Amino acid sequence: MRTPILAGNWKLNKTIAQSREFVASFTPLVQGASGVDIVLCPVFTALDATREAIGTAPIALGAQDMYWKDAGAYTGEVSAPLLQDAGASYVVLGHSERRGRFGVPEPDLEGQAGAVFGDSDQSVNKKLEAALAHGLTPIVCVGETLAERQNGHTDAVVENQTVMALNGIEANQISKLVFAYEPVWAIGTGETCEADEANRVCGVIRATIATGFGAEAGDAVRIQYGGSVKPENAAQLLSLPHIDGALVGGASLKADSFAAIVKAALA
Ligand code: PGA
């Protein structure tokens, strides 16, 4: 059985003080929640303070991105060893807000999560290799844009992103990974993918992994759904067989709503 994993992706939100306040309100709400992994992903500058606020509570810390080199002349970047130094054990990779041409919003992304930070399938793969080499658990995001869905390319897009992300990875490393199916059109839009469709596409990701790395790897890998997950739709999404958790943006910013989503996973 796969342990459900609920990750709060705070994106570019919360000061150090606000991150601490969140943890102070959230921790009592999820006290005793066992059989579920909880991850908070604050901005880089709040990682250390959030770790301190979490203390010994069973809540893990994740970063929202990283570079694949450990150190050197890479102005503005942060590496796996530095994330670990700040207390992170997870790292989100290839989020749709980070994929795409650098500095240029993709033309077909009108009203959808902007992809402007230049991540490519190749850079996601390099980051994934580096994260695994350092013992960080990557949360690898894949998902189609609205135009790709409308043109019937959903399955091909997620299959391709999955295969490219895993280039050169060994089958015995797959169980250390988390995938997140994040249809780009459902992120931050209030629009959730139909639960059955989200489950189907998570199944496509699982089948792609099983084809490349064997049935055992396909069974072991945890796959989250992400895109406008909220307390009202979490229970239905999380009850489906291929959905092992959620990557939550907007609804993870408030302690009570993220706690309600965690509780939906326990039900
Ligand atoms: P959302 O974001 O829950 O605000 O749609 C999800 C994500 O981008 O991970």
Q: Which protein residues touch ligand 1 with a CB less than 6 Å away? A: 9, 182, 187-188, 226-229, 247-251
- All residue ranges of the chain with pLDDT < 50 are none
Q: Which residues contact 14 (CB under 8 A, 6 or more apart)?
A: 22, 42, 43, 46, 253
Q: Which CATH class is domain 5-266?
A: alpha beta
Query: What is the structure's pLDDT at 31?
Result: 94
pLDDT for residue 113: 57
Cα 72 to middle of ligand 1, angstroms = 32
Nearest CA to ligand 1 atom 1: 249
Containing H/E element for 158?
helix 154-165
CA dihedral 262, 127, 164, 242 (to 10 degrees): -10
- Residue 55 vs residues 21, 51, 62, 211, 259: alpha-carbon distances, Å: 13, 6, 15, 41, 18
pLDDT of res. 110: 57
DSSP state of 67: B
Atom number, ligand 1, closest to the C-alpha of residue 189: 5
Q: What's the rounded Cα separation, in Å, for the pair 176 and 156?
A: 24
Q: Which residues are catalytic?
A: 95, 182
CA 247 to ligand 1 center in whole angstroms? 7
What does the pLDDT read at residue 147?
A: 86
Task: Report the distance separating Cα 240 and Cα 243, nearest Å.
Answer: 6
Report how far apart, in Å, the C-alpha atoms of 247 and of each of 24, 152, 222 are: 21, 24, 12
Q: Measure 172 CA to ligand 1 centroid, in angstroms.
A: 30
Question: For residue 104, what pLDDT is reported?
Answer: 56
Q: How confident is the model at residue 170, as a pLDDT?
A: 96
The model's pTM is 0.95
Tens digit of pLDDT for each residue in 219-251? 999 999 999 999 999 999 999 999 999 999 999
pLDDT recorded at residue 191:
81
CA distance 1 to 147: 35
Ligand 1: which of 41, 98, 229 to mutate, judged by most atoms within 8 Å of the beta carbon? 229
Domain ranges across the chain: 5-266
Asked whether 234 and 246 are in contact (CB, 8 A), the reply is: yes
Give, using CA atoms, the residue closest to atom 7 of ligand 1: 249
The reported pLDDT for the residue numbered 105 is 56
**Centre of ligand 1 from the C-alpha of residue 18, in Å:** 19
